[in-house]
Amino acid sequence: MKNITLRIPEKMNNYLKKISKNTNISKSEVIRRALDEYISKEKYRTGSFLDLASDLKGSIEAPHDLSVNDKHFKGYGE
């Protein structure tokens, strides 16, 4: 693992100490987990359109072949 130096406000450090003590997890591990969660959310937000809209899948009812079957386009744009 790589080492980094991080400066945080006193109040944040106090919260970090409390979390570490209450969970019996080192401060470094608490920070790693928080960063991992943040990074995974960022990765999700910067993914493909399919990734970004994955929670919408199945939210509407439509024919499964809507985008490829010509019968669904009959009269469209007239």
pLDDT at 5: 93
Residue 26, in any domain of the structure = yes
pLDDT at 55: 81
Residue 12, in any domain of the structure = yes
Q: Domains in the chain: how many in total?
A: 1
CB 6 within 8 Å of CB 31: yes
Residue range of the domain that includes 32: 8-46
pLDDT at 33: 96
CB 34 within 8 Å of CB 23: no
Residue 54, in any domain of the structure = no
pLDDT at 44: 58
pTM for this predicted structure: 0.54
Residues of the chain with pLDDT under 50: none
Residue 64, in any domain of the structure = no
